[in-house]
Amino acid sequence: MKIIEFAGIGPGPFAGMVLADLGADVIGVDRPGGAGPFDLPVLRRGRRSIAVDLKSEAGREVILDLVASADALIEPYRPGVMERLGLGPDAVLARNPRLVYARMTGWGQDGPQSPYAGHDLTYTATSGILSSFVRDPHDGSMPRPVLPGPYLGDVAGGALLLVAGLLAALHSAAATGTGQVIDAAIMDGASYLSTFTHALRLGGMWGGTPGNNILDTGAPFYEVYECADGRHLAVGALEPQFYDELLRLLAEHAGLDLGPDDPRHRLNRLDQRRWPEAKALWEDFFRTRTRDEWCAFLERSDACVAPVLSLEEAPTHPHLGARAAYLPVGGEHGPELPVPAPRFSATPTQTRPSPARGAHTDELLAEVGYHPARIATLRSTSVVA
């Protein structure tokens, strides 16, 4: 598959990176000076790059010649920008009716917010999903939502759902010979991700104030605890059998006996009114040992306990090491980064280095039939770089 990706920041480049890691020929249409401080080299890996002045008529023709043989296009601009450049869906699909034209925006192509700027924070806030990420301070003060990084909006709701939609549309185009336009809005994606929370709410398992529900650290058996060394332990003993295994291991290795005869044995699971009391018990208890001392007997079990690792620690974890989950990118001495997921038995993914902007300009123009003299003219007039 050949995919034309217009340079941007955040979810667009992440989607292009995923497709390149999966083996697509992703051609990055770059600006000579880059797309800004968040135009991150790691996310640009695996592409071929051409630098084009999109505001020139000759530059527009270059793009139309590129898309004529492409399977898909990804553009990350506000609504109307591509139309003003003469590269909107009507113009592009007229040149290549089989093309899948994927539009990555925050608010979508229409609606009262669509002309305005935004970021992951504003999209997840409007979608309702941000309100779920709250910890109750239990001191009478008002809880405040905490953004979990760019993962829910930009990455999951934006980039990954765009990839899913693009792959589905490519399948349809292969069967019908006709492309289509994908309106991938981060706010839509973030709203869609909240379906799981809506399901819990409708099932009667999510109704309290944020931070007091079963999966948002309200329950003592699904919480993060501070240890003696100031590091943290994630306890996810959600189902009864996993909770029983946690209690068994704590009694066997740490002397905390909450057996069936102890009145506190089931309060953690059944009586939500006593969850704060139970949590206070766990908080005091887990502070008696270091994180790694707890992990020594809890981690490799069905107690569902794990260390909270830093980004620097994660690559050295025994499980991640055994699965080679981090490998150097861009050569033996490149930075260690997570390997692409998922894993394939017959067509394994392979990361490729990030190109310099415009590194493949001449190569790509030659592929669509440009004579060297024409390429030289485009360079001398700064249409390409």
Q: Which two tokens stand for residue 366?
A: 């030659």
Give the integer Cα–Cα distance in Å for 266 and 279: 13
Give the integer Cα–Cα distance in Å for 91 and 94: 5
Query: What sign results for the dihedral spanned by CA atoms 77, 158, 48, 334?
Result: positive
Query: What sign results for the dihedral spanned by CA atoms 352, 356, 359, 361?
Result: positive
Cβ count near 117 (within 10 Å): 9
Residue 382 — φ and ψ, nearest 5°?
A: 65, 25
Q: Which two tokens stand for residue 156?
A: 């999951």
Contact indicator for 218, 212 with CB cutoff of 8 Å: yes
Pick the catalytic residue: 25, 65, 119, 183?
Answer: 119
Identity of the amino acid at 62: V
Pick the catalytic residue: 30, 53, 154, 216?
Answer: 154
Contact indicator for 74, 4 with CB cutoff of 8 Å: yes
Is 138 assigned a catalytic role? Answer: no
Is 119 assigned a catalytic role? Answer: yes
Please report the DSSP string for 47-103 in residue order: -EEEEB-TTSHHHHHHHHHHHTT-SEEEE-SPTTHHHHTT-SHHHHHHH-TT-EEEE
User: H helices then E strands: how many in the chain?
Assistant: 15, 11
Contact indicator for 107, 123 with CB cutoff of 8 Å: yes
Residues with Cβ within 8 Å of 120's Cβ and at least 6 positions away in sequence, in order, are: 10, 147, 150, 152, 153, 154, 186
* Catalytic site positions: 119, 154
